[in-house]
């Protein structure tokens, strides 16, 4: 078997997220499985580095799959994009060692969350940013973000109430930048729980508008309860940007 690693970009607006849910779903994974299988004339099951929620975007999702026939990767990228819908693009394709798996081999991931915090809504980022009109105190958000770093049990930031596996993760960086009215929060870590980036963003936004103390971050982590954290920011502002191996 040959093993391949694809880097993928998608506009998640009209999809029910990454993860395939059946034969009649409308997911990125389902679409890729269907079109890559047809193109290669071989049943392909694409494994993503992780799920992205309904409506979440990707600039650098990674997926791997095994096939019997060897593929001309350069030609594959050119041709597969002519069959894919315009909101999904394969950016890159490489042959990899047979032990490589997009999810299991991932060492770190970077997500970016874009908040449109300008005085007036930016009409051109309606689908690629969360519009939040109240002025955010970015310095306070930065201080709070530092308290969320480290190796912790992040179950308070998990949207799945029935999550049973280990919820310990290492978040190595939360960088908050400002650009023309946008506040961009870049999260890097070895992995993130379901909805974790969106719930952390909602919590940091609550800090930014003074609804929550900077110091309460450690309390939220210690509470080990979803109720302790803030609201879940909507999907349209979130981008999976990079997966490192």
Active site members: 53
Among 88, 136, 145, 241, indicate the residue that binds a copy of itself (CB under 8 A): 88
Q: Find the shortest distance in angstroms from Cβ 87 to a copy of itself.
A: 5
- The token pair at 105 is 């081999």
Which of 40, 67, 121, 149 binds a copy of itself (CB under 8 A)? It is 121
Span near a copy of itself by CB under 8 A; candidates 48-56, 115-123, 139-147, 178-186: 115-123
Residue 15 binds a copy of itself (CB under 8 A): no
- Return the closest-CA partner of residue 102 out of 238, 240, 198: 240
Token pair 């940091």 in the structure block, residue: 204
Give the shortest CB-92-to-a copy of itself separation in angstroms. Answer: 9
Binding mask 194-223 toward a copy of itself (x if CB under 8 A, else -) reads: ------------------------------
Residues in the chain: 245
Q: Which stretch binds a copy of itself (CB under 8 A): 14-22, 42-50, 117-125, 230-238?
A: 117-125
Applying CB under 8 A, among 22, 74, 99, 120 the residue interacting with a copy of itself is: 120
Instruction: Note whether 43 and 1 are within 8 A (CB).
Output: no
Taking CB under 8 A as the criterion, the residue among 4, 5, 6, 10 binding a copy of itself is 10
Stretch that binds a copy of itself, among 15-23, 63-71, 116-124, 165-173 (CB under 8 A): 116-124
- The CA distance from 227 to 205, in Å, is 16
If we measure between CA atoms, which residue out of 78, 8, 1 comes closest to residue 42? Answer: 1
Q: Is 5 in the site for a copy of itself (CB under 8 A)?
A: no
Residues in Cβ contact with 89 at an 8 Å cutoff, skipping those fewer than 6 apart: 8, 9, 10, 81
Three-class DSSP labels, 179-244? ECCEEEEEEEECCCCCCHHHHHHHHHHHHHCCCCCCCHHHHHHHHCCHHHCCCCCCHHHEEEEEEE
Report whether 128 contacts 236 (CB < 8 A): yes
Q: Is 128 in the site for a copy of itself (CB under 8 A)?
A: yes
Stretch 67-86 residues interacting with a copy of itself (CB under 8 A):
77, 81, 86
Which residues of this chain interact with a copy of itself, rule CB under 8 A?
Answer: 9-11, 57, 77, 81, 86-91, 120-124, 126, 128
């Amino acid at each position: 078997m040959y093993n391949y690693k694809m880097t993928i970009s998608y506009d998640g607006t009209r999809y029910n997220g990454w993860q395939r849910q059946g034969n009649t779903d409308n997911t990125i994974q389902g679409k890729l499985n269907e079109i890559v299988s047809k193109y290669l004339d071989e049943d392909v099951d694409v494994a993503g580095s992780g799920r992205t929620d309904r409506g979440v975007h990707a600039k650098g999702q990674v997926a791997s799959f095994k096939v019997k026939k060897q593929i001309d990767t350069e030609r594959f990228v050119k041709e597969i994009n002519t069959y894919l819908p315009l909101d999904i693009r394969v950016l890159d394709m490489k042959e990899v060692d047979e032990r490589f798996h997009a999810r299991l081999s991932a060492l770190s991931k970077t997500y970016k969350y874009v908040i449109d915090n300008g005085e007036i809504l930016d009409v051109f980022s309606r689908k690629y940013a969360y519009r939040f009109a109240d002025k955010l105190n970015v310095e306070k958000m930065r201080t709070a973000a530092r308290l969320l770093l480290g190796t912790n049990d992040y179950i308070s930031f998990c949207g799945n109430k029935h999550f049973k596996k280990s919820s310990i993760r290492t978040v190595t960086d939360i960088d908050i930048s400002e650009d023309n009215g946008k506040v961009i929060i870049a999260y890097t870590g070895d992995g993130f729980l379901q909805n974790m980036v969106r719930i952390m963003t909602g919590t940091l936004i609550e800090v930014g508008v003074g609804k929550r103390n900077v110091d309460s971050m450690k309390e939220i982590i210690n509470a080990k309860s979803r109720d302790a954290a803030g609201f879940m920011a909507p999907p349209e502002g979130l981008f999976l940007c990079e997966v490192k191996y």
